[in-house]
Amino acid sequence: MIPELIFVTPGIGTSSTVSQLDHAAHPSHADFKEIFLASLHIDPPIVQAIRRLLDARPVRGIHFGRCTGQVHHVLGAACARGVEKVSFLCDFRRMESSWCQALGRCLRFGKIKKLVLQTHLTNELAKAMYKGLSNNNHHTSMLSSSSSQHHDTTLTELSVAVSHATWQSIVLLSATLPNCTSLKKLSLNRHDLLYEMEESKLSTLLKSLANHPSLTELCIQGSSCPPGGIHVIAEHLIGSNNGLEKLDLSNHRFGMDRLEGMSCLSKALSTNASLKFLSLAGHELNEEDIHGLCRALNSTSTRIQELCLNDCQITNAGVSIIAQS
């Protein structure tokens, strides 16, 4: 069985880390598909060792877990060799300017299909994503065609934390998403359990997804979705003419939250023929909410196959309503 990941952790000095990487590059080492760089300070010798590894083996993904140093050089080398999955797990620190710029270039000219960003969505990061993923940006410099050629984005899955994002970064992300014409799954998560997303920011993001050509899965898991967000979801994403198949609104705050706007959500569900999965886990649902949801599920249009209501504080009366329905 081929292991998915090889973990590279700090040794006693740079030479120890280089030895790990060179050993992984050797033909005798077990095959693997992805590299996880954990808490490394990446200096030039480590960059060179990673390049040797990438030249020796085909690598599908590279993940940076709390790394420092010359991350941008490693990212550039990986993308030049066709890496498809990239993660920045920065413990929600800010990504350095050089890293953002390198990521933008990789999104523009590379083959990245999955991108996970557990880091602050700064203006600089949002701008890099916009430049890398927007099809309406074209180079005008007199470079050779091989170096300046632009192609449609290949990104199919994006996970980005939006806690405490500035208005400018939200606007930039909203301008980027419609241009991601291959995007199938979008996760707008938070890393601060006490944070409540502002309605104006969430509404702006969700409106940008209206009539998206490829999106089939939306996850706002862990983010407190205010009534304005629910109304936008109902109006733009799960109406009768949309293609969303999976909607995850599960909540992981400490304590229960009411899911305001359930009547609007239920009404939209009753006319939707594409949604197959819905999660409302972690939200308190009263009997009126349950009645509305069951009426939607009984609609001839509804195609929901899986409904998750874990930890929704449903009473015995609510369970009876579900059972009878």
Closest Cα partner for 276 from 318, 312, 308?
308
What is the model's pLDDT at position 139?
A: 39
Nearest to 229 by CA among 245, 207, 247, 246: 207
Please give the Cα distance from 20 to 7 (Å, whole number).
Answer: 10
User: Beta strands 217-219 and 185-189: pairing type?
Assistant: parallel
pLDDT for position 288: 94
Residue 211 has pLDDT above 50, yes or no: yes
Structure pTM?
0.90
Least confident interval from 95-99, 183-187, 278-282: 278-282
pLDDT over 70 percentage in the chain: 89
Q: What is the pLDDT of residue 1?
A: 45
Give the confidence band of 150 by pLDDT, cuts at 50, 70, 90.
very low
By the 10 Å C-beta count (0-12 exposed, 13-18 middle, 19+ buried), 55 is classed as exposed
Contacts of 160 (CB under 8 A, 6+ apart): 117, 121, 173, 187, 188, 189
Does pLDDT of 185 surpass 70? yes
Write down the H helix ranges in 81-211: 97-109, 123-133, 145-148, 167-176, 199-207
Rounded CA-CA distance 17/8 in Å is 7
Distance separating alpha carbons of residues 63 and 99, to the nearest angstrom: 13
- Phi and psi torsions of 311, nearest 5°: 55, 40
- Compute the C-alpha angle 199/202/208, nearest 5°: 135
Q: Which residue has the higher pLDDT, 198 or 41?
A: 41
Identify the helix (H) or strand (E) that includes residue 118. Answer: strand 114-118
pLDDT of residue 149 exceeding 50: no
Mean pLDDT taken over the chain: 88
Asked whether the beta carbons of 301 and 266 are under 8 A apart, the reply is no
Direct distance between the N- and C-terminal alpha carbons of the chain, in angstroms, rounded to an integer = 46
Short-list 60, 110, 108, 107, CA closest to 80:
110
Closest CA to 292 of 261, 268, 263, 318: 263
Residue 232: in which H helix or E strand, if any? helix 227-232
Those residues whose C-beta lies under 8 Å from the C-beta of residue 164, and which sit 6 or more positions away, are 120, 192, 195
